Structure formats: structure tokens, C-alpha cells
Amino acid sequence: MTITIYSQMRTSFGISDENLEKIKCFLQGAVYCWAKNRKDEGFAARDLVGGENCEWDGTPLWPLYQKHINAGKSRDEAVSEAGKDLGWILKVVLHEDKRIFEPYDAGMAKGYRWMP
């Protein structure tokens, strides 16, 4: 568990429970892959699904982006807002994980380190 009792958690993201569960599974797989291959490096949501991995079409992340497009936001706004939502979902995923992750400030995002 990574989250202190004083830490804020979000549980509502404006998508179906089914889509949220798919996103959480997708993120947990990305976290496990990162921890296995880069165990001494911290990560933020942007490291897992941004940069070279920013094409979300065809992944469980797509409904999160589409929610913002459907709300009338521009592509850039939708990308930014979906990224923020994803950061909150990552926090939930890590909180529910049996392993321990230490939070840290990763600049414009919350970062985490696996504590083996």
C-alpha cells in the first residue's frame, strides 16, 4: 500500500465501471513490467502510457480520452485531462496493489518507486 490515510483518492472518473476495471488492469500490467525491467527507477503515469506510448486508440485507455472529446474539449485539452485522470487511477491501482510503492514528487506529476 502506497497511500497514507491523509492522501486524497478519487473514485469517480465519468466512465463505466467495466472500462475503469480494464484501465486498472492495463495499468497494473504496465507497472509490473516497469518494476521488473527498471526496478531502481521511479515512474509516473506519463512514463507508462505517454511519450512513445501515447497512442491510446485500441487500448483500454481510449474511453478516458473519448470522454473528454465528447465533452467538447479540444484534442490537446482532452489529452491533458485524460492524463490527469489516469494519474488518479494509477494512484488507486498502486493503493490496491499488495506491493509497496513510495510516492515522490516527479515534477508536474506524482511519481512512485517500488520498494522491494
pLDDT tens for the 116 residues of the chain, in order:
555 555 777 878 899 999 999 999 999 999 999 999 998 899 999 999 998 888 899 999 999 999 999 999 999 999 999 999 999 999 999 999 988 888 888 887 889 998 88
Specify the pLDDT at position 6.
56
Specify the pLDDT at position 11.
79
Contact between 83 and 45 (Cβ < 8 Å): yes
Specify the pLDDT at position 3.
58
Alpha carbon 31 to chain centroid distance?
9
Within the chain, where are the H helices? 17-37, 45-49, 62-70, 75-96
Q: Which among 51, 79, 53, 49 is positioned nearest to 67, based on CA atoms?
A: 79
